[in-house]
Amino acid sequence: MKYYREKEKYMMFLNGTLRIDRLVEEDRGNYIVTVYNDKGQLQVKKSLNLSFQEIVSKPEIKWICSQKLIKVTCEVNQKNKPALHLLQSKTRLLANEPKYANGIWKIEYQPKNTILTAKFQCEVKNDVSKKTDDQEIICSGPLDSVLIGSIAGGAVVFIIFLALLIYCIRKKRAERYEEQNN
């Protein structure tokens, strides 16, 4: 049994198992393991590539509503490429090829047909962990002309009412002021 770097950090057992204690990111790399029998003959020589997978971050669903259309984006802050999926109503896979920019992996989806309300789920996972984000997105469509006319008409009536109220109050004060002066 040979030890490299720190004594007792690397241990190889008789059954061929290699154990690395107190594994840290600096231990990443290629390892060559050679096993000899008691006569000094080479039994096994294996090359191993040790790599790490980080625990995935919680994804975030963002959306933009415009003219009865939804554009949904799922983002996750992650170094290594995760498996990133965007689903609608937990069943239909909407997008599956993530893009990487500025430390963020993201996928985007914009349906071709009109959707005003939908439930979306973003799932990010790797061999170590899995996290999801669920959002119900409600987009109100553009205001129709009847609603806009009603709001504008109501505002005009309110302003006229306010003007009449102020006029009446000032007229009443003027009458009282004339009565007090006479």
Per residue in 134-153, pLDDT (tens digit) is: 988 887 655 556 777 889 99
- What radius of gyration, in Å, describes the C-alpha atoms of the chain? 35
Residues 85-135: pLDDT tens digits? 888 887 777 766 889 988 899 998 887 777 667 888 999 998 889 999 998
**Strand order across the beta sheet in which 117-125 lies:** 92-95, 83-88, 117-125, 130-138
Residue 155 Cα distances to 24, 146, 161, 164, angstroms: 67, 14, 10, 14
CATH domain 10-50 topology: Immunoglobulin-like (2.60.40)
- Tell me, yes or no, if the pTM score tops 0.75: no
Written as one letter, the residue type at 29 is G
Does residue 29 register a pLDDT over 80? yes
- CATH number of this structure's domain 60-138, picked from the four choices 3.50.50.60, 1.10.3720.10, 2.60.40.10, 4.10.520.10: 2.60.40.10
